[in-house]
C-alpha cells in the first residue's frame, strides 16, 4: 500500500490588514548619539555589532564590538544614520529590545531593555531567556 498523502490548500486573501512587525532592536536618542560619537573618529568601522555569549552567573551576557563589515547572517538595524548589526545567535534573544545609553555619576553604559528576559543576576550583567 502507498503512504497516505497530506493535502494543503492555498487561498488568496484580499483586504487583509497587515500586522506591524516587531523591530529587532530599537535605539533611544541617547544610544544613537553615543554610537555616533564612538564612531566619529573611526572611519574604518561601519557600526557596532551586538551579540550574546554564554557567560556570567545567569547564563548569557551581551557583547558589543566595532565592526568593519556586515556578516553574512547579521541582521542590520539602521536608525537615524547609525548602523547596528545583530549576530545570528543573538537575533531571537534581542527581538523587541530597546538599546539605551545611561550616564550616572559613577558609570556610563549601554542598557538593553529586553522584554524576553526571564531573569537576571544581582549585578545585572547576565540574563536568561
> Could you tell me the CATH number of the domain that includes residue 91?
2.60.300.12
**Count of domains in the chain?**
1
Report yes or no on 5 lying in a domain.
Answer: no
pTM of the model: 0.73
Gap between the Cα atoms of 101 and 109, Å rounded? 6
Q: Pick the residue with more confidence: 18 or 30? A: 30
**What is the spatial distance between Cα 84 and Cα 92, in angstroms, rounded to a whole number?**
15
What domain range includes position 60? Answer: 25-122
Q: What is the pLDDT of residues 71-119, one digit of tens each?
A: 888 888 888 899 999 988 878 777 888 888 888 888 888 888 877 666 5
In a domain, 102, yes or no: yes
Amino acid at each position: 500500500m502507498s503512504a497516505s498523502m497530506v493535502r494543503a490548500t492555498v487561498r488568496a486573501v484580499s483586504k487583509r490588514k497587515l500586522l506591524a512587525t516587531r523591530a529587532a532592536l530599537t535605539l533611544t536618542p541617547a544610544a544613537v548619539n553615543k554610537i555616533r560619537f564612538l564612531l566619529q573618529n573611526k572611519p574604518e568601522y561601519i557600526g557596532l555589532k551586538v551579540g550574546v555569549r554564554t557567560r556570567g552567573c545567569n547564563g548569557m551576557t551581551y557583547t558589543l564590538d566595532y565592526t568593519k563589515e556586515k556578516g553574512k547572517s547579521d541582521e542590520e538595524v539602521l536608525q537615524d544614520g547609525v548602523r547596528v548589526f545583530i549576530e545570528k545567535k543573538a537575533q531571537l534573544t534581542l527581538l523587541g529590545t530597546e538599546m539605551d545609553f545611561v550616564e550616572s555619576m559613577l558609570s556610563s553604559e549601554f542598557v538593553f531593555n529586553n522584554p524576553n528576559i526571564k531573569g537576571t543576576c544581582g549585578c545585572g550583567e547576565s540574563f536568561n531567556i
